[in-house]
Structure 1
Amino acid sequence: MLIQRRANFPIECISWSDFQNCPTCTGKQPGISLRHWRFAWSLRCKVCGSELVPLHGNREGLAQLPSRLRHRAQEGAVRLRTVYRHGNVHSGRRMDLTLQVAAVLAPELRHGALFSLNQIDRFKALAVINLGMTRPLLATALTMKSDRVGETKLRIAFPHKGKLVDRLARLAESLPSQRSREVGAPKNQSRTNSTGMTHSPRQEYLQAARRAIDQLGENAERSDLLNCAVKFFESASQSNVDIS
């Protein structure tokens, strides 16, 4: 199967061999292999619309994919396809750097994840591309917040990006922690540190939290509220930064 590739594009977007197929089409015509099945961004068959599945591995895992991961992966796939077809090398480098950062912080997302037979890892890689093109600083800072050695890993892997890592570290430090509020604590009780001094949440945190509650409702999942609030916080306090 001859497929033309962009020689100068930073990311390998077309597999050299089949790694997924359409169960519906192969059931009707065994041995069939369609070109678009080899694209990194292909998640559904263009012929029948069925979801593509890995050739090997656990196909049952497809039904267990979190809806949020699936949605972000679909958005990432659209972005990757658009950038590749337009030959946008600048955006391609940005995506490549995003995947490099993700590989440092999450080993399962190392080289080849876009064609992984582990569907969850592949969807994570596509979701990372989406976050890298929309909220790159936030996505990395959230990971650094939960990974104590994440900053060290990034400094070792990207010694020439010291200023960017510094900014990520500051952003990660400023983000509210999911453990900062205990379930069932009195609403008017302020937090106290080891010296007995009380800390009031910064005003921008409160505003972001209110906006998240207004958008998702008071009965939404706590993790959804936190992620939504952080999104509002970043959009209000962080300017766009070119990480390429």
Structure 2
Amino acid sequence: MGKARLEHSASAHGGVRVILKPLPRRPVQVRDELLPSWIRRLAQANHCSVEDFCGYLGLGQSRVPERMKDLRQVNWARFCSAVQQTRDEIEAMTLPDTTHLPIQCVSSDDFQICESCRDQTPGVILRHWRFAWSLTCENCGRPLVARHPSDGLSDRLRLRAARGAAVLKTAVDANDLKRMRRISRTLAVLKILGLEYPASFASRCQLQRSEALAAIDVCTTRPLLGAAILLCGNDKAFWELRRAFPLHRRVIARVLTLSEDIERRLPRLQKAEPAPKKETKAAYRPVASEGALQAARQAISELGPDADRQALLVRADTIWKSQSCVSH
């Protein structure tokens, strides 16, 4: 509808409260739909721009509200009468306020979607798509698709990411600030180690997000081992951790000891000696310890730190050899 067709009538109580007639076209709300998604679909169905539509509804702004705090200036009588929804129903369509938490776990953009639900209702956005702990669509059960999906995720990494996501969701639902601070420290360790992880768990890159969620699982179920794996072979990070967490130096020293033990047990972590010239073609040229370290980390990521030690050694050695062959 055009702007002229947005009719309204005044209430009899002093003429102050403006009550609108119900909108002529009201698309059915999808379960758990985000408020901006529904407002945009309402505006489109009634042939009105989103900016004009927000003003007509009494939202007091041209930007479509997403969070409950964005609804402070809303004319509720006007808004509710137009869309035929109660205030509680409208507020339930907004994102929860998580600004008091030490980490960002609710995204401000559409970093993932459900392609099936989007195809069924073009333009729809569901609330739980914005949650960092959401991996599957709550409406249809299909896996959510990241903006930058990764095809090569191992089953072990997917499983650990799912466990980490469950830990994050439980902490948010329970408003468990102690556990959230522990998760925040996990992110801080990742940053100190110089790994390219996102500032939040709502990365558009599926691989980065999966690894970050998996880190929650490892560092929650076996925190010392998880930190030792991250610290393995990185002496500079040890001193940076001591500076960043001065109250936990004794724990960090224990982690360093465990890390050094892991480094000794995993294959070829030290720089290999140059191969003799008489070696046959079947022999492969040794590489720097960084390549072996990456192979060890990948093996742990695939099999998990609680896997059989011999299996970890064999898998890391296989990865290291394949990388060496590819480099040549």
2:113–2:144 contact (8 Å) kept in structure 1: yes
Q: Report the TM-score, using the length of structure 2 for normalisation.
A: 0.52
C-alpha distance 12-137 of structure 1, shift in aligned 2 (>3 A): same
Tell me what 1:79 maps to: 167
Tell me what 1:150 maps to: 237
C-alpha distance 154-36 of structure 1, shift in aligned 2 (>3 A): same
Matches within 5 A, 1:34-113: 34-55=126-147, 57=148, 59=149, 61=150, 63-112=151-200
Tell me what 2:206 maps to: 119
C-alpha distance 125-221 of structure 1, shift in aligned 2 (>3 A): closer
Distance 1:137 1:224 in 2: 23
Q: Report the TM-score, using the length of structure 1 for normalisation.
A: 0.68
Distance 1:217 1:80 in 2: 29
C-alpha distance 224-130 of structure 1, shift in aligned 2 (>3 A): farther
Tell me what 1:27 maps to: 119
- Write out per-residue CA displacement over residues 178-222 of structure 1, whole angstroms, 9 at most, x where no aligned residue: 1279xxxxxxxxxxxxxxxxxxxxxxxxxxxxxxxxx8698x564
C-alpha distance 6-217 of structure 1, shift in aligned 2 (>3 A): closer
2:111–2:202 contact (8 Å) kept in structure 1: yes
1:100–1:110 contact (8 Å) kept in structure 2: no
Aligned partner letter, 2:238: E
Counterpart of 1:107 in 2: which secondary structure? coil
Structure possessing the higher relative contact order (Cα contacts under 8 Å, 6 or more residues apart) = 1
Distance 2:136 2:185 in 1: 26
Matches within 5 A, 1:138-177: 138-175=225-262, 176-177=264-265
2:233–2:260 contact (8 Å) kept in structure 1: no
Corresponding residue to 2:110 among 18, 35, 42: 18
Structure 1 stretches lacking a partner, 5+ long: 182-214, 227-244
How far is the alpha carbon of 1:160 from its aligned partner?
Answer: 4.1
1:8–1:89 contact (8 Å) kept in structure 2: no
Distance 2:314 2:155 in 1: 14
Distance 1:217 1:132 in 2: 19
Alpha-carbon RMSD across the aligned residues, in angstroms, is 2.6
C-alpha distance 120-217 of structure 1, shift in aligned 2 (>3 A): closer
Distance 1:96 1:3 in 2: 21
Matches within 5 A, 1:221-236: 222=313
C-alpha distance 6-143 of structure 1, shift in aligned 2 (>3 A): closer
Distance 1:85 1:149 in 2: 37
How far is the alpha carbon of 1:44 from its aligned partner?
Answer: 0.6
Matches within 5 A, 1:203-214: none
Greater per-residue helix proportion:
1
* Larger Rg, first or second structure (1 or 2): 2
- Write out per-residue CA displacement over residues 46-69 of structure 1, whole angstroms, 9 at most, x where no aligned residue: 1111111123x3x3x1x3111111
Distance 1:170 1:178 in 2: 15
Count of aligned pairs: 187
How far is the alpha carbon of 1:41 from its aligned partner?
Answer: 0.2
How far is the alpha carbon of 1:163 from its aligned partner?
Answer: 2.1
Aligned partner letter, 2:203: S
